[in-house]
């Protein structure tokens, strides 16, 4: 019997990049694999900072990244949903929407989730498109940032923090402006090229 492959795919980017919608679509297309939103693992103190448009520090993010990695690894260990690889084995793919803008954050996530293979995908739309999306977001409730004004105030600091090197897959320019289903399909295509002979099946 072939072994089980466990992979965590982090879908990353600044606020307004589309992490949640694209990540959720990617997880669904990987045969309804688990999807996690890293915003759900912020501490109350960090959420309060975000509501006041105060950028989080590395001290804020360290424990948060640990919680995110632990939750993703636990999901990979506990899910009963698997897909079949081209070598006849089984695979689990957990998709996580998470900013992870700095290389150091991605290193911390990879180390913490050492029991899984890890890939980081960056959604990198033009700044003008990000601003338009955030302005259209409007009412609070769907994200850690409570409204468009808070998100727009934090966008410059997030763009300054974003380190564009070292990603598994990058969607930028027009590719990062496509509908979520198309972006998910392109991410899956590029990821499966990276994964090679043990790439899981995909129905997107």
Report pLDDT for 43. 96
Q: Which domains does the chain have, with CATH numbers?
A: 4-193 (3.40.50.300)
Predicted confidence band at 1 (pLDDT cuts at 50, 70, 90)? very low
pTM of the prediction? 0.90
- Determine the Cα–Cα distance for residues 94 and 105; give it in Å rounded to an integer: 18
More confident residue, 148 or 103: 103
- Say which residues have a Cβ less than 8 Å from residue 70's Cβ, sequence separation at least 6: 112, 113
Give residue-wise pLDDT tens across range 155-199: 999 999 999 999 999 999 999 999 999 999 999 999 988 887 555
Report pLDDT for 104. 97
Report pLDDT for 135. 86
């Amino acid at each position: 019997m072939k072994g089980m492959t466990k992979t965590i795919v982090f879908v990353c980017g600044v606020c307004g990049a589309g992490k949640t919608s694209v990540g959720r679509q990617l997880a669904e297309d990987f045969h309804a694999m688990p999807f996690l939103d890293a915003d759900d693992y912020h501490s109350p103190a960090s959420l309060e900072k975000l509501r006041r448009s105060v950028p989080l520090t590395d001290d804020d993010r360290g424990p948060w990244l640990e919680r995110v990695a632990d939750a993703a690894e636990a999901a990979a260990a506990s899910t009963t949903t698997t897909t079949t690889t081209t070598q006849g084995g089984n695979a689990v793919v957990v998709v996580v929407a998470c900013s992870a803008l700095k290389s150091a954050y991605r290193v911390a996530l990879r180390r913490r989730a050492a029991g899984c293979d890890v890939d980081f995908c960056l959604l990198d739309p033009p700044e003008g498109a990000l601003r338009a999306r955030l302005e259209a977001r409007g009412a609070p409730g769907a994200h850690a940032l409570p409204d468009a004004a808070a998100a727009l105030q934090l966008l410059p600091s997030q763009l300054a923090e974003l380190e564009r090197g070292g990603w598994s897959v990058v969607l930028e320019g027009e590719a990062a402006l496509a509908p979520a289903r198309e972006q998910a399909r392109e991410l899956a295509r590029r990821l499966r090229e990276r994964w090679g002979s043990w790439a899981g099946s995909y129905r997107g």
